[in-house]
């Protein structure tokens, strides 16, 4: 279906409004705003949000930045909360307590702490049960709301308050969990990895697919954090571009098990270009630490090649 993204952004009412208290240069507000723009104008939405930066900054009682129904829930249960609301909605329609022509969509938001780690059990359960809902992880790579502690989404060698860099420590030593592939392993009809800003077309199209695909769907959205990553606030778009051009954060979707890479850089950049602007990786450029950059690059290259192979294999 043809559409004009500029026209949508300029004329479609924003369901995530101004007045929130997210940091300047944060990727999460742009994520929420564009995802909700993918909703049809006549459709209502019920949003569940795990405790985290987005929740505490957008819903400060009695004020809210959300124009649809909004439920604040605990760190670990955004998916469970949303699945319960979706189940209740189906019962109300089946018993005639809601009109059949009423359309409500169900979307849950959680950071990587509330999704990769604390909320993984409820997310897995909701996805396995097949609730007609979309779960969105805005991935900023650590527990930013509570003091920049490492999460399983934190990349290797990143400096955080619980994986600090020192004379005998090199930041987080473990590689980043690949949550999108874990969701693919749940045999969902639609899973996608996309980015907060820089490629709004990719984010909008994948959001629309996820929301209007019947069943449980999942979006993993890279949402940089200036406080936790240590970059100037005006670098948000540039940093996102570097994330996809180095293939640190590949853009792809998986529909019914078939992989499709939605962005392949014409010239794949070395990972140093993504690491340099971020203070959390500053130690990697000290003399004698070249091995860190090499290991990081090797990991990125291996994951990118695995993705290329999956695209080829699943589309034969």
Give the SS3 label for residue 141: coil
DSSP tag of 42: T
What per-residue confidence (pLDDT) applies to 180? 98
What per-residue confidence (pLDDT) applies to 13? 83
pLDDT digits (tens, 9 = 90+) for 202-229: 999 999 999 999 999 999 999 999 999 9
What per-residue confidence (pLDDT) applies to 1? 59
List alpha helices for the chain, DSSP H.
5-11, 28-37, 53-58, 78-94, 120-129, 179-184, 200-212, 226-229, 236-245, 272-275, 290-314
Listed in sequence order, the residues at least 6 apart from 301 whose beta carbon sits closer than 8 Å to its beta carbon are 247
What per-residue confidence (pLDDT) applies to 268? 97
Residue-by-residue pLDDT tens, the chain, 316 positions? 567 877 877 778 889 988 899 999 999 999 999 999 999 999 999 999 999 999 999 998 889 999 999 999 999 999 999 999 999 999 999 999 999 988 999 999 999 999 999 999 999 999 999 999 999 999 999 999 999 999 999 999 999 999 999 998 999 999 999 999 999 999 999 999 999 887 889 999 999 999 999 999 999 999 999 999 999 999 999 999 999 999 999 999 999 999 999 999 999 999 999 999 999 999 999 999 999 999 999 999 999 999 999 999 999 9
Domains of the chain: 5-314 (3.40.50.970)
Is residue 138 within 8 A of residue 179, CB to CB? The reply is no
Listed in sequence order, the residues at least 6 apart from 103 whose beta carbon sits closer than 8 Å to its beta carbon are 40, 42, 43, 44
What per-residue confidence (pLDDT) applies to 259? 98
What per-residue confidence (pLDDT) applies to 7? 80
Q: How many Cα atoms within 13 Å fall on the side-chain side of residue 13?
A: 9
What per-residue confidence (pLDDT) applies to 61? 86
User: In angstroms, rounded to a whole number, what is the distance separating the alpha carbons of residues 60 and 64?
Assistant: 6
CB atoms within 10 A of CB 66: 19
Quote the longest CA-to-CA distance of the chain.
Answer: 70
List alpha helices for 27-117, DSSP H.
28-37, 53-58, 78-94
Q: Concatenated DSSP letters for 183-197?
A: HHTTT-SEEEEEESS
Q: Left, alpha or beta for 139 (phi > 0: left; psi -120 to 50: alpha)?
A: beta
């Amino acid at each position: 279906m043809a559409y004009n993204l500029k026209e949508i952004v300029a004329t479609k009412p924003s369901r995530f409004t101004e007045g929130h208290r997210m940091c300047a240069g944060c990727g999460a507000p742009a994520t929420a705003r564009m995802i909700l723009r993918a909703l049809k104008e006549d459709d209502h939405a019920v949003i569940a949000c795990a405790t985290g930066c987005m929740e505490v900054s957008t819903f400060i009682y009695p004020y809210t930045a959300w124009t649809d129904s909004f439920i604040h829930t605990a760190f670990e249960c955004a998916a469970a909360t949303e699945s319960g609301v979706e189940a209740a909605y189906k019962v109300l329609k089946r018993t005639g307590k809601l009109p059949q022509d009423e359309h409500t969509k169900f979307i849950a938001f959680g950071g990587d702490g509330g999704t990769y780690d604390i909320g993984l059990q409820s997310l897995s359960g909701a996805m396995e049960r097949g609730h007609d809902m979309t779960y969105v992880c805005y991935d900023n790579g650590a527990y930013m709301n509570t003091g920049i502690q490492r999460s399983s989404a934190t990349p290797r060698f990143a400096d955080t308050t619980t994986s600090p860099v020192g004379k005998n420590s090199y930041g987080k030593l473990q590689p980043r969990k690949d949550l999108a592939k874990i969701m693919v392993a749940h045999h969902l009809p639609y899973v996608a990895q996309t980015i907060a800003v820089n490629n709004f077309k990719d984010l909008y199209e994948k959001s629309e697919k996820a929301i209007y695909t019947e069943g449980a769907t999942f979006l993993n959205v890279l949402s940089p954090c200036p406080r936790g990553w240590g970059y100037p606030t005006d670098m948000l778009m540039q940093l996102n571009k570097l994330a996809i051009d180095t293939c640190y954060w590949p853009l792809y979707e998986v529909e019914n098990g078939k992989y499709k890479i939605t962005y392949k850089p014409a010239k794949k950049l070395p990972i140093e270009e993504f690491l340099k602007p971020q203070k959390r990786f500053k130690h990697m450029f000290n003399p004698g630490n070249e091995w860190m950059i090499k290991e990081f690059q090797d990991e990125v290259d291996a994951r990118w090649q695995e993705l290329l192979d999956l695209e080829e294999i699943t589309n034969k």
